[in-house]
Chains A and B, each alone.
Chain A
Amino acid sequence: MRVKLKIWRQKDSKSKGSFVNYNLDNVFPEMSFLEMLDALNKTLTESGGDPVAFDHDCREGICGSCGMYINGHPHGPVKGLTTCHLSMRYFKDGTTIVIEPWRAKPFPVIKDLIVDRSAFDKIQQAGGFISVTAGSAPEANSVYVRKKNSDLAFDASICIGCGACVASCKNASAMLFVSAKISQYALLPQGKPEAKERVRAMIEEMDRQGFGNCSNTGACEAQCPKQIKLVNIARLNREYYKAF
């Protein structure tokens, strides 16, 4: 395969960026998207150029490091996949692929396709935990949890913190991200004692970090590689009202 790439290049957070075009031959349909970029970077490096910087690590869809806007979609055009799992077989020979970093004010660009997502960590630090000190836990089976609730908590807990929800949202809202953690704990008895403090602290931090509000367009759910459901945002709102 042969592809034309239009990639956002930006030296650092202070510089202005722009799209740069590259032609890449010897692309194979079995390549993952990131392996295609590896191939581009090898060519760039070995011809004296500057390779494209992008975050990546596990390359199996679970660490949440990777993430780029591909042809107008976070993580590309295929539902339920992270960028690292996106395969080149989904693209046609000779096609043009536009690659950009996440674009959201709370995620400033660091270099090329790498953005700063530390705002997510700050929201979690504000209250995304259950305050149990190591050593003080009761016997695990002393607290029964309804299987259905446990399963729903799991469905919410699988968020990988990649930021696709924010990137896809016209308001750059982090509501899906926050609601995933709030829902996980709201559905479990272990999370109840500090539920009010948690939701207030996390929402407050979310606002402080400059994320926008939710206007129910549902873009986040549609683009989430882990298919976290919008219903979690409803649960977040309910938890928030209950907290005052």
Chain B
Amino acid sequence: MITLDSKIPDGPLEEKWTRYKNTSRLINPANKKKIDIIIVGTGLSGAGAASSLGEMGYNVKVFCYQDSPRRAHSVAAQGGINAAKNYKNDGDSVYRLFYDMIKGGDFRAREANVYRAAEVSNQVIDHYTAIGVPFAREYGGTLDNRSFGGVQVSRTFYSRGQTGQQCLLGAYSSLNRQIKAGTVTMFPRREMIDLVVVNGKARGIVTRNLLTGEIERHSAHAVALATGGYGTVYYLSTLAVNSNASAAWKAYRKGAAFANPSFVQIHPTSIPQLNDFQSKLTLMSESLRNDGRIWVSKTKGDQRNPNDIPEEERDYYLERRYPTYGNLVPRDVASRAAKERCDAGYGVGKTGLAVNLDFRDAIKKQGRKAIEEKYGNLFDMYKAVTGIDSYEEPMRIYPAGHYTMGGLWVDYELMTTIPGLFAIGESNFSDHGANRLGASSLMQAAGDGYFILPYTLTNYLAGEIRTPRQLTNTPEFDEVERSARERIDKLISIKGKHNAASFHKRLGKIMWDYCGMVRNETGLTKALEMIRQLKKEFWSDLLIPGANEELNQELEKAGRVADFIDLGELMVTDALNRKESCGAHFREESQTEDGEAKRIDEEYAYVAAWEFNGEGNAPLLHREPLKFEFVELRERSYK
């Protein structure tokens, strides 16, 4: 049985992190050289952590499934990265950034963690700027900012519509510097297929070499997962199609609690699904809502060209419902509002599952060039996918699965319930509560990697300096490799009729229909049955061509889909358990008169951390009560 100890330092909110840093243990440089660390994943958090730890003198081994660490999915983040610099002199501060995140997350995140994320945000911007990330600038040479959803200040740093790419390539460059220096060893085209725990501590991983099928053993004094989110559980999502939950899922099965798995962000502005064979939904950055206005016709089923619909017949429903924040309401609110209009029959186009995002007024006011400069690549991307020029007519958008606030449970030190196993970036649950605000994922991932994990991991490893380098020819590694091979053999030997993607697609539909933007008891109960049935079919009708000992992309997919099916079941279980609505988790049974999410603080102001309880058994629920000492719980309103 696990116990949840969040290890939040004492003291006032703004002093906790400083106190922690002042009292945490250190390791002298000579000893750091003798310590091995494994990092899985090379996105903003993984590459950032690996380079920082390398700079400190540790031996770091880094793994990614792509052919190069530069392809991690942080690369696709578009709009920006937040920091509390207050460069716009508009009243911003660390406290306000913290408060916006706590409120944005609908009071379901830990105060101390969120405050720390806000606190280190400024260091992140300083660092990225120093390593050559070309953030947008003003004519005077200083850095520019723009605004994002759910806030009233401009604190978002950006590089046109590809901020994630620029930050990731910055992180990749630091990683390269350490690879050259010899402190970091990079292992691309490797998939972590299991975690190795020795005497209760994480001591290594077993990987599959995706080129040869070889099963490899890697040991370390500690392991950090930086493996991202699990939004691809929906099959169609804004994520890279190979993004997966398998590393986190393996950790869960080894004893790491999984927190709030049902907290998923459905992003309001994605290019709508066009057809059945689609493999991916393309995001259109939230930054577009700075200048784009969202509307539908006031007439049901209106098939006119949007440009032919006169002003008085347009319903700018976000501006109507939420006059204070208008088009910049948080993502969960914007997504539900779009769904509400479409379900009521006002959706745009033949499918009726789209709303307009219109730049007509912005272009009129600021000129086409200004809009091009801010969003050029997004307009190009939209055109590439749809063939439509959105300088001339509105974009059509619809919500899509995007970011997962849920993830591995971690304490203040970002350590999971397995000692020596850490989780950073999107793979942990810690900072975004029940809804994440735009431009705070890059912020959190980078902060975790560069400025938090290096301290907390060192504090842990200070107790390990007498631990010798771990061997891999031990019974623990033997057993993990044996079971990993057994599973691969089992998958290959099914020899059924359908490929992995066809099961993934079916799972995605179940999750989208019953555990997506709106959830209810009947639907969730039904979903549970459907997932269990799907699991049976998967394990009896899956078809994988070829063998393990070769590059086998179908085998890779199958392993991931198998884990997604199990994770889907846990997500539904979690959504069933939480009978309140909060943030992105909207239970129909719990809403206000005007259809907003209604929290039930007396019963649900806790983190739901699930413990694996053996194959086929119900997982165990542990509750970490959320104590709000510094902010007052309020109804979250953007009206």
Contact = CB atoms under 8 A, between A and B. Distances in A.
Given A128-B173, A144-B140, A190 B71 contact: no
B613 interface: no
A121 B68 contact: yes
Interface string A48-65: 111101011111111111
Contact of B551 (A53, A121, A154): A53
B73 A63 contact: yes
Given A30-B274, A58-B76, A132 B85 contact: no
B126 A61 contact: no
B30 interface: no
Contact of A50 (B131, B177, B385, B545): B545
A157 B132 CA distance: 10
B559 interface: no
B51 A134 contact: yes
Contact of B138 (A63, A137, A147, A185): A147
A89 B66 contact: no
Contacts of A12: 550-551
Contact of A124 (B130, B172, B451): B172
Interface in B161-180: 162, 165-166, 169, 172-174, 176-177, 179-180
A38 B141 contact: no
Interface in A135-157: 135-141, 143-147, 150-151, 153-154, 157
B55 interface: yes
Given A132-B131, A188-B132, A42 B502 contact: yes
Contacts of B180: 125-127
For A53, A57, A154, A191, which residue has the most chain B Cβ atoms within 10 angstroms? A57
A134 B179 CA distance: 16
A240 to B, nearest CB: 19
Given A30-B275, A31-B277, A125 B499 contact: no
Nearest to A59: B280
Contacts of A137: 123, 126-127, 129-131
Contacts of A121: 68-70, 176, 186, 188
B454 interface: yes
A145 B166 contact: no
A67 B546 CA distance: 24
Interface in B521-571: 543, 545-546, 550-551, 553-554
Given A39-B277, A124-B172, A150 B137 contact: yes
B499 A42 contact: yes
B19 interface: no
A102 to B, nearest CB: 12
A198 to B, nearest CB: 11
B387 interface: yes
Contacts of B501: 38, 42
Interface string A96-127: 00000000000000110010111011001111
Nearest to A146: B141
Interface string A16-46: 0000000000001011101100110110111
B515 to A, nearest CB: 24
A173 interface: no
A81 B67 contact: no
B213 to A, nearest CB: 12
For B139, B169, B172, B498, which residue has the most chain A Cβ atoms within 10 angstroms? B169
Given A49-B545, A137-B129, A150-B137, A58 B277 contact: no
Contact of A58 (B75, B127, B134, B179): B75
Contacts of A49: 545
A134 B450 contact: yes
Contacts of B125: 140
A85 B385 contact: yes
Interface residues of B, number: 81
A180 B531 CA distance: 48
A87 interface: yes
B241 interface: yes
A35 B71 contact: no
A190 B130 contact: yes
B404 interface: no
B457 to A, nearest CB: 13
A210 interface: no
A118 B68 contact: yes
Nearest to B70: A161
A134 B450 CA distance: 7
Contacts of B451: 134-135
B55 A133 contact: yes
A153 B134 contact: yes
A138 B129 CA distance: 9
Contact of A56 (B132, B136, B241, B497): B241
B553 A89 contact: no
Contacts of A80: 380, 384
A160 B143 CA distance: 24
A128 B136 contact: no
B37 to A, nearest CB: 15
B381 interface: yes
Contact of B127 (A44, A132, A157): A132
A147 B275 contact: no
B160 interface: yes
B81 to A, nearest CB: 12
Contacts of A56: 241-242
B173 A138 contact: no
Interface in B267-283: 274-275, 277-280, 282-283
Contacts of B550: 12, 111
Contacts of B129: 137, 140, 143, 190
A231 interface: no
Contacts of B546: 50
B554 A45 contact: yes
A130 B173 contact: yes
B131 A190 contact: yes
A219 B553 CA distance: 32
B87 interface: yes
A131 B131 CA distance: 7
14 contacts: A12-B551, A61-B381, A64-B71, A87-B384, A89-B387, A118-B68, A121-B69, A134-B454, A139-B126, A140-B126, A145-B141, A150-B135, A151-B134, A158-B162
Interface of A: 12, 28, 30-32, 34-35, 38-39, 41-42, 44-46, 48-51, 53, 55-65, 80-81, 85, 87, 89, 110-111, 114, 116-118, 120-121, 124-141, 143-147, 150-151, 153-154, 157-158, 160-161, 184-185, 188, 190-191
Closest 6 CB pairs of A and B: A144-B141, A137-B130, A129-B173, A140-B129, A137-B126, A59-B280
